Amino acid sequence: MDRDFILTPWESEGDIDYTRLVERFGLNVISNEMRYRVADTAGEDHFLLRRKIFFSHRDLGVILNSHQSGPGFFLYTGRGPSGNTHIGHLIPWVFAQWLQKNFDVTMYFQLTDDEKFYRDAGLSLDDTYNLALQNARDFAALGFDPNKTHILINSRHMGTLYPLAAQAAKKINYSNTKASFGFGNDTNIGMIFYTALQSAPCFLERKPVLIPLGVDQDPHFRLTRDIAPILKYPKPALIHNIMIPSLAGSKNKMSASQKNSAVYTTDTPNQIRKKINKYAYSGGQESVAKHRELGGNTQTDVSFLYLWMFFEPDDVKINNIKKEYESGSMLSGELKQILIEKMTKYMEIHQNRRESVDIGEYIFDEVEYKNKMRR
Ligand code: TYM
């Protein structure tokens, strides 16, 4: 196996080559036809689709068919609470909110406090639970419909999740998880069981499920897709986003456990300004004269990539920035300034919503769920 880059739910190393990743994971690149079909069915386009930030899928066509002439579908995604929420996490969630709004569907959001407890030697179960509540605020702040959105926290909602996880666990064997995640003899058995728990919400309803997620999480659901038919459930469908790079550049994805690699939703305007000015990798030239002559590189410039991937949805504006930066008329410092302003404004609005949102309205209600399933 080629090891020039590694991407699993728990490891990321090297420059991700997406063409090779598509082959390695066996993903389906979203065709233009599929892109138009999603936009047509939704009634509007989304820049994350248009810019190919959401770039691949599994069984997206099945979901659209089920929406148009079948039982419909539900949405599911999640977060492993290992730290504050960073801007990479927002990508699948913002898109999930758009899907919920345009397809009018139920959404389940799983917070895997157990996963991060098993994974991170420095975190207690209380720590990860408290982080889960913080992360839940970021998710709910994005405008999900409280009547159709249910946040599950693994350590609190086992009554519902365990019977589903047990069914999955019985069908996933050790050699398959080991091959997917590279477990060794020293891996704790919580981690070995964990994929069954991330699979469980796929089986909360008998309908097809669509999961918007970062492509690093795909290995879990490859296992889920193998066993779903044995359990007489539809295979979970996926729509994957590429990974937003760390501040230091494309060699690493943004990660909540590496402090200076990430911009968090809790950062102050001052922290944002300092991080971008000091750490954001620049695709500019080493001198102003050289930059004016050769221009900047928008493929590697982290400030440009953050604008492109998230903070500047307006195509006309982003294309102007691209042209000016590549031609050398815009300097690296000026580009950083644009990002700082956009990010600060975004965070100000987000932080206000985050403080005022009532997560109680979103927390999964086991009694209500049981009643709904009985009907
Ligand atoms: P976690 O907490 O690592 O990430 C949450 C979501 O954010 C995506 N993501 C990113 N997207 C773009 N750029 C990045 N740099 C970046 N970093 C993370 C992840 O792919 C994910 O979609 N085990 C999961 C929690 C989970 C889950 C799920 C995720 C439970 N059930 C269902 C997706 C779908 C985790 O630790 O995610």
Q: Which pLDDT tens digits describe the chain residue by residue (375 residues)?
A: 456 888 889 888 888 999 999 999 999 999 999 999 999 999 999 999 999 999 999 999 999 999 999 999 999 999 999 999 999 999 999 999 999 999 999 999 999 999 999 999 899 999 999 999 999 999 999 999 999 999 999 999 999 999 999 999 999 999 999 999 999 999 999 999 999 999 999 999 999 999 999 999 999 999 999 999 999 999 999 999 999 999 998 666 777 666 678 999 999 999 999 999 999 999 999 999 999 999 999 999 999 999 999 999 999 999 999 999 999 999 999 999 999 999 999 999 999 999 999 999 999 999 999 999 887
Cα(228)–Cα(234) distance, integer angstroms: 6
Task: Kindly report the pTM of this predicted structure.
Answer: 0.97
User: Is the four-CA dihedral 40, 41, 47, 49 of positive or negative sign?
Assistant: negative
Closest atom, ligand 1, to C-alpha of 217 = 20
What is the number of alpha carbons within 13 Å of residue 327 lying toward its C-beta?
8
Cα(115)–Cα(24) distance, integer angstroms: 25
Residue to substitute in 217, 240, 250, 310 for testing ligand 1 pocket (most ligand atoms within 8 angstroms of CB): 217
Is residue 210 within 8 A of residue 41, CB to CB? The reply is no
Cα(150)–Cα(29) distance, integer angstroms: 30
Cα(147)–Cα(181) distance, integer angstroms: 36
- Alpha carbon of 180 to ligand 1 centroid (Å): 17
- Alpha carbon of 214 to ligand 1 centroid (Å): 6
In angstroms, how far apart are the furthest CA atoms of the chain?
Answer: 71
